[in-house]
Amino acid sequence: MGSLIVRMKDVIKTYQLDGVSIPALRGLNLEVSAGEFTAISGPSGSGKTTALNIIGALDTPTSGIVEVEGKDLSSLSKTELAKMRMNRIGFIFQAYNLIPVLTAYENAEFVLVLRGMPLMQRREKVQAILEEVGMADMMDRRPDQLSGGQQQRIAIARAVVAEPALVLADEPTANVDSKTADSLLDLMEHMNKTHGVTFVFSTHDPRVMNRSDRLLVLRDGVITEDILQKK
């Protein structure tokens, strides 16, 4: 196992909704090392999305420590957090979340533009990744001209193209049929094995859980099982 990418210690997250406290995470402890292909499973409402959002610095915990690559997130400013997301973390969302005004190519390119990568280098990388996700022939289409599975392929390309330390995927296959889900998982696995990208993804689909190397079971905001799987 490689170096530690994520460390969560006693993380508590309580939402406040109309004066009511809703506990989502109740003392979560978690460590993820470089190169892992880890699934977080659990029933709806168990806190999967909350946990991923907190790791990805999209949300802040009520208490506890969150470190990404050894950096305590609570010590970083908003701009520094944005920088960290841009440079170190890739996101794949359940609802694909491509930017509608940009073409498939431009969506995949987006993070590289943010990073200020020169055009020629960018073009090379984006071309290569689109080939890899099998979308090279549709790169000029806008998201609304692509199927859900195709959009998610672009989203995967976008998440990994900048070679982040960590890709977080919140139920990436929940909106597609099982055949498409399989092929998306093939793709993610391929990225993990050939590029060494660390993946943490959530799912409540047993078929998807079984494809991870490591399975964490979340229940009521705490991890109840941590299983290393052999396939």
Partner 1 sequence: MKIWRMAFRNILRMKRRSLITTLAMAFALGIMIVYSCLMDGLVHDMEKNATMLEMGHVQIHAPGYLESPSIYKRIEDPESLVASLQNAGFHASYRLFASGLAARGNASAGVQFRGVDPTLESDTTRLPHHLLEGKWLDEKEPKNVVLGKRLAQTLSAKVSDEIVVVSQASDGSIANELYIVAGILKSVGEIVDRSGLFMTVSAFRELMVMPEGSHEIVIAVPPEQELQDALPAIKKIAQGLDVKTWEQLNPALAEMINSADAFLIPLIVITYMAIAIVILNAMLMAVFERIHEYGVMKALGVGPFSVFRLVLIEAFIMTHGAAILGLATGVPLAFYLETHGIDLGIFAQGATISGVAIDLVWRSLVSVSSILMPLIFLYILVLLGTMYPAIKAARLKPVDAIHHH
78 binds, among partner 1, Mg ion, ligand ADP, none (CB under 5 to 8 A by kind): partner 1
Instruction: Please provide the DSSP assignment of the chain as one string.
Output: ---EEEEEEEEEEEEEETTEEEEEEEEEEEEEETT-EEEEE--TTSSHHHHHHHHTTSS--SEEEEEETTEEGGGS-HHHHHHHHHHHEEEE-TT----TTS-HHHHHHHHHHHHT--HHHHHHHHHHHHHHTT-GGGTTS-GGGS-HHHHHHHHHHHHHHT--SEEEEESTTTTS-HHHHHHHHHHHHHHHHHH--EEEEEE--HHHHTTSSEEEEEETTEEEEEEE---
Q: Which is nearer to partner 1, 85 or 211 (CB)?
A: 85
Q: Which is nearer to Mg ion, 49 or 103 (CB)?
A: 49
| Residue 4 binding partner 1, by CB under 8 A | no
198 binds, among ligand ADP, Mg ion, partner 1, none (CB under 5 to 8 A by kind): none
45 binds, among Mg ion, partner 1, ligand ADP, none (CB under 5 to 8 A by kind): ligand ADP
The CB-of-123 to Mg ion minimum distance in angstroms stands at 35
| Residue 47 binding ligand ADP, by CB under 6 A | yes
**201-220 positions binding partner 1, by CB under 8 A:** none
Interface region with ligand ADP, contact rule CB under 6 A, candidates 41-49, 104-112, 173-181, 189-197: 41-49
The correct pick among 49, 173, 198, 212 for binding Mg ion (CB under 5 A) is 49
Q: How far apart, in whole angstroms, are the C-alpha atoms of residue 172 and residue 99?
A: 17
State the residues that interact with partner 1 by CB under 8 A: 53, 56, 58-59, 78-79, 82-87, 91, 93, 97-102, 110-111, 113-114, 158
State the residues that interact with Mg ion by CB under 5 A: 49
